Amino acid sequence: MRVAVLGATGKTGRYLVARLCHDGHAVVALSRKLDRLDAVDGCATRRQADILQRDTIVAALADAECVVSLAHASLAEPLLAALPPLCRWVVLTGSVRRSTALPDPGADGVRRGEAAFRAWIAAGGRGVMLHPSMIFGAPDDRNVGRLLRFMRRWPRALPLVVPLPGGGRHTVQPVYFEDLVAAFAAAVTPSRALPLDIEIVGPQPMQYCDLVRATAAALGRRAWIVPLPLSLLVGVAYVAATLGFKVPFTAAELRRGTESKRFAVEPMQTLLGVRPRAFDVGVREKVTRGWF
Ligand SMILES: NC(=O)c1ccc[n+]([C@@H]2O[C@H](COP(=O)([O-])OP(=O)(O)OC[C@H]3O[C@@H](n4cnc5c(N)ncnc54)[C@H](OP(=O)(O)O)[C@@H]3O)[C@@H](O)[C@H]2O)c1
């Protein structure tokens, strides 16, 4: 099948392109800048396209039988409006951030994209929207990668002290990038009927404090968690960022870390046949590969 991939240059998209080529698809990799496509698998055809420039995206998708987008969900509406008649199936990316109760412009964009997707399905379109939780593991991942780099810089002679809001008791369910790629590849040619959306998540929720401990353990270190009030940490992150210091997490990310996330993994396993790996396994793989 001819599959066009938007977001082909992204942290996850590069690996999805390689996987779809390996699965025997005729892959068309798209980017706003052609030279960024130098990094994608050589078996893919490369084309320039910007979802926000209608003529470029219409031309680039003209022969696509399936369109997969790893570009942000907020771009769903113009993308869906540019699909060719030939296109039989669409796989879009959302985010579990859609379910946050915090004020979050990123989540608002995901909800807008989801609404556009539902309207398109109601008008006769066919496809699925996959909603990843925190993705980690790719060489340039900004989630766990930042934490690993921070820990690597921390002098070995000093105890590795990590302040977390409330001691990091809230939960998160990170998904390893290769499990995400496997889920997208399965969604391109599903072996059974799929619902409109599926959450793509790690095997179970884990507390932030355990995420930090497992990350330190992957580097052969022990992390000492120090509970601090959120307001203090947000203030420190804000002042440090204002003064130009590198902080592992921004004030907005710290706030998001005080909301527990918990998602069902069974739909991903049953419908897409992907059993995601545990966080400690994924973070050890990342460290072994030297990807941080
Ligand atoms: N990282 C996470 O923890 C996380 C969690 C939940 C959901 N997600 C979602 O999962 C997806 C993949 O994440 P990622 O971190 O791998 O993405 P990423 O590295 O940020 O890549 C985003 C891609 O979107 C493309 N893009 C942006 N604007 C575009 C436009 N106007 N037209 C065409 N392409 C455009 C970029 O391609 P060019 O720059 O080459 O044009 C880039 O390849 C994203 O949709 C993200 O929102 C991520």
- Which residue is associated with the tokens 């609404």? 115
- Give the integer Cα–Cα distance in Å for 194 and 127: 8
At residue 121, what are phi and psi to the nearest 5 degrees? -65, -45
Q: Indicate if 163 and 72 belong to the same structural domain.
A: no
* 107 plus 160 within the same structural domain: no
Whether residues 8 and 122 share a domain: the answer is: yes
- Assign 118 to helix, strand or coil: helix
- Please tell me the distance from the alpha carbon of residue 251 to that of residue 241, in angstroms, as a whole number: 9
Angle at 283 between CA 42 and CA 92, to 5 degrees: 50
The pLDDT confidence band at residue 265, using thresholds 50, 70 and 90, is: very high
182 touches 18 (CB < 8 A):
no
pLDDT at 49: 98
247 has a pLDDT exceeding 90: no
Residues 9 and 49 in one domain: yes
pLDDT band, very low/low/confident/very high, at 41 (cuts 50, 70, 90): confident
Distance 225 CA to ligand 1 centre (A): 32
Burial of 195 (0-12, 13-18, 19+ CB in 10 A): exposed
Asked if residue 115 and residue 13 are part of one domain, the reply reads yes
**70 lies in the same domain as 156:** no
pLDDT of 250 above 90: no
- Regarding whether 150 and 99 lie in a shared domain, the answer is no
pLDDT at 245: 86
Question: What does the alpha-carbon distance between residue 259 and residue 208 come to, in Å, rounded to a whole number?
Answer: 11
Shared domain check, 10 and 111: yes
Q: What is the DSSP string of 150-200?
A: HHHHS-TTS-EEEEEETTS-SEE--EEHHHHHHHHHHHHS-SS---SEEEE
* Helical packing angle, 144-153 and 279-288, nearest 10°: 60
Answer yes or no: is pLDDT of 248 > 80.
no
Report the CATH number at residue 44. 3.40.50.720
Residue 212 lies in a domain: yes
Average pLDDT over residues 5-28: 97
Tell how far the Cα of 231 is from the centroid of ligand 1, in angstroms.
31
**CA-closest residue to ligand 1 atom 33:** 50
Return the ligand 1 atom nearest residue 73 CA.
Answer: 45
**71 shares its domain with 162:** no
Distance CA(3)–CA(26), nearest Å, equals 6
Range of the domain at 24: 2-132
Classify residue 82: in a domain, yes or no.
yes
Same domain flag for 14 and 46:
yes
Confidence of residue 251 (pLDDT cuts 50, 70, 90): confident
Specify the residue with its C-alpha closest to ligand 1, atom 46. 72
Q: Which atom of ligand 1 is closest in space to residue 142's alpha carbon?
A: 1
Among 84, 74, 76, smallest CA distance to 28 is for: 84
The count of structural domains within the chain is: 2
Distance 58 CA to ligand 1 centre (A): 19
Q: Does 126 lie in the same domain as 22?
A: yes
Give the lowest-confidence range in 9-13, 26-30, 233-237, 283-287: 233-237
132 lines ligand 1 (CB under 6 A): yes
Return the exposure string of 229-247: e unless at least 16 CB atoms fall within 10 Å of the residue's CB, then b: eeeebbebbeeeeeeeeeb
Pocket test for ligand 1, best of 5, 9, 144, 253 (most atoms within 8 A of CB): 9
- Taking the C-alpha atoms of residue 83 and residue 99, their distance in angstroms, rounded to an integer, is 28
Q: What is the mean pLDDT of residues 168-190?
A: 97
Q: Would 262 be classed as within a structural domain?
A: no
Q: How far does the chain reach from its first CA to its final CA, in angstroms?
A: 35
The reply to whether 251 falls in a domain is yes
Residues 56 and 77 in one domain: yes
**Maximum CA extent, the chain:** 63
Does a structural domain hold residue 278? no
> Quick check: is 269 in a domain?
no
**pLDDT tens digit string along 193-227?**
999 999 999 999 999 999 999 999 999 999 999 99
Q: Is the minimum distance from the CB of 135 to ligand 1 under 6 angstroms?
A: yes
Whether 233 is covered by a domain: the verdict is yes
pLDDT at 167 over 90: yes
